[in-house]
Amino acid sequence: MSRTVIYPGSFDPVTIGHYEVIKRASKMFDKLLVGVLVNQSKKPTFTISERMELLREVTADLENVEIVGFEGLLAEYCKENNINAIVKGLRAMSDFEYEFQMAITNRKLNPNLETIFIPADSEAMYLSSSMVREVASMGGDISNFVPNCIHDKIVKRFQK
């Protein structure tokens, strides 16, 4: 049986922490979908198409990874696409509390859905997309925060 899972997020922009979770999850499952969410409550820096393209560049070396975009409930997307597991990266206990609530909610919406937590690598435990955006917007060096292959594209977006 082939196992397909999804790693959802806004990825605005993708960080080295995201890439680490993607790389590790891709080794554990037959197919990993990286789901770029349209979140109506956020005003993204990069369009969904741009975020998907950045992710395609970052994951080009991972054969079993596919980048998808979607809007709406994750539990419904999983049901419609025959996905029975969600992968979530955890940086700290504060992440766990929120992600645990989401896991239970998703399971209530789709009883066939499991959530698998992958702890962040110690090098990226502190890192978030919002931190990358803040540092980049102030002209700071983000080279230790994002994959090299997309560094210049992110910096260019924040140049004034």
> Could you give the residue numbers annotated as active site?
18, 42, 91, 129
DSSP 56-78: HHHTTT-TTEEEEEEES-HHHHH
Positions of E strands within the chain: 4-9, 31-38, 65-71, 85-90, 114-119
Residues contacting residue 18 through CB under 8 Å, at least 6 positions apart: 9, 11, 89, 129
Q: How far apart are CA 154 and CA 37, in angstroms?
A: 19
Using alpha carbons, select from 59, 8, 66 the residue that is nearest to residue 32: 66
Contact 114, 84 (CB under 8 A): yes
Q: What angle separates helix 48-58 from helix 148-158, to the nearest 10 degrees?
A: 150
